[in-house]
Amino acid sequence: MADGCTFERTAQDGKARLGRITTPRGEIRTPAFMPVGTAATVKAMLPESVRATGADILLGNTYHLMLRPGAERIHNLGGLHRFMNWDRPILTDSGGFQVMSLAELRKLTETGVTFRSHIDGSKHELTPESSMEIQRLLGSDIVMAFDECPALPADRDRIAESMRLSMRWADRSREAFGDRPGHMLFGIQQGGLEQDFREESAEALRGIGFDGYAVGGLAVGEGQEAMFATLDFAPDMLPEDKPRYLMGVGKPDDIVGAVKRGIDMMDCVLPSRSGRTGQAWTRRGQVNIKNARHADDPRPLDESCSCPACSGYSRAYLHHVFRSGEMISGMLLTWHNLHYFQELMGEMRAAIAAGQFEAFEARFHAARAEGDIPQL
């Protein structure tokens, strides 16, 4: 572990792990869900509101921030924490995944990726070395190694080739990161759904040595069943005494299934993005606030939820402000969704501590099976 940072596991129930990561910027309770603050903001939320939902750490996107406003500029303005007014831990991705999904005219070589910005067409290059430098300029607490990941399905040759390139880049990332007390570097396991490639990747990463390990290359179109089948073996290949991070996951049932399989950290745009499109997540599943059935409904979204949207507003109001295109709609639904995701993490942490994860999981699925409250 990097100096100044620790990871302690305090309980385990089955494969589900309870713990905490300590950094100079604060503690991260695990299993942890990280809200995504793509462009130095969790959209529609003030940082103190994000904190009030229970988030210990945010994710920032290197690709977006390097293009606008630029990593140098953020560095000159005191770093990402000060820039966005969030003083707790921040994890940044390496930019690799988003270059592949967003940038134009990409060219992949052994050195790295050259591409054109999706914003203004300007030309850029990302390499393991430049990704480490950009993440250093941002001041990220948890830095991700630079990697490449094919969309699934892909054939075995393509998956192997891509994974081996990512492992060479992981080595270069480690070298370029150097020794930075108080900051952690995570390696990323690749290998698609293939057990042998996952093992080869894990072995390469263990040989290099990281402060934490991500399971990458999932949630890219393979579906939940295939993802869980891979998570049945992939996390076990990574060092037990280091945090394990599943990138880009997910829906509440994905999150519960991942924690059950030994994952400690996750991130997803889902709660914030769906909050802006009128979708709410509750313990009874998904609610579409656009639906006319809510127009006269004086009840809260979820009577057991203590978030501002549920304690102060009716379904009828949430329906009205969404239909009217009012900004408060995205604000309230995002707050509720982030609150729900953090409550879910808290419930899982309590269940693991009590050795009751299985009972928790049964309750979780039973509540969802009931579906939303009946129409009035």
Q: Which of 13, 56, 141, 267 is catalytic?
A: 267
Residues 96-135, mask of contacts with Zn ion (x by CB under 5 A): ----------------------------------------
What are the CA-CA distances from residue 210 to residues 15, 99, 184 (Å)? 21, 23, 8
Q: List C-alpha distances in Å: 349 to 20, 32, 230, 357.
A: 11, 9, 23, 9
Task: Show the site string, 322-351: x = touches Zn ion by CB under 5 A, - = not.
Answer: --------------x---------------
Please give the Cα distance from 172 to 28 (Å, whole number). 27
Q: Calculate the CA dihedral of residues 293, 297, 303, 307 and round it to 10 degrees.
A: 90
Q: At 187, is the secondary structure helix, strand, or coil? A: strand
Q: Is 278 annotated as a binding residue?
A: no
Task: Tell me whether residue 267 is one of the annotated catalytic residues.
Answer: yes
- 166 annotated binding-site participant: no
**Of 8 and 303, which has the nearer Cβ to Zn ion?**
303
Q: How far is CA 84 from CA 23, 35, 42, in A?
A: 19, 14, 10
Q: Is 179 annotated as a binding residue?
A: no
Residue with smaller CB distance to Zn ion, 172 or 336 = 336
Q: Number of residues in contact with Zn ion, rule: CB under 5 A? A: 5
* Side chain identity at residue 161, one-letter code: E
Site string for Zn ion, 295-324 (x = CB under 5 A): ----------x-x-xx--------------
Strand ranges across the sheet with 16-23: 6-13, 16-23, 26-30
Residue 94 is labelled as binding a ligand: yes
Q: How far is the CB of 350 from Zn ion (least distance, A)?
A: 19
With vertex at residue 213, the alpha carbon angle to CA 260 and CA 164, rounded to the nearest 5 degrees, is: 120
Q: How far apart are CA 286 and CA 86, in angstroms?
A: 30
For the question of residue 93 being annotated catalytic, the response is yes
Query: Any binding-site annotation on 268?
Result: no
Interactions with Zn ion, residue window 246-305 (CB under 5 A): 305
Is the CB of 164 or the CB of 290 nearer to Zn ion? 290
Is 93 flagged in the annotation as binding? yes
Least distance from Zn ion to the Cβ atom of residue 285, Å = 14
How is residue 119 written in tokens?
């914003």
- Residue 302 CB, shortest distance to Zn ion, in Å, is 5
Residue with tokens 């409550």, as numbered in its chain: 343
Residues identified as active-site: 93, 267
Binding-site sequence positions: 93-97, 147, 190, 217, 305, 307, 310, 336
- The residues of the shown chain that bind Zn ion, judged by CB under 5 A, are 305, 307, 309-310, 336
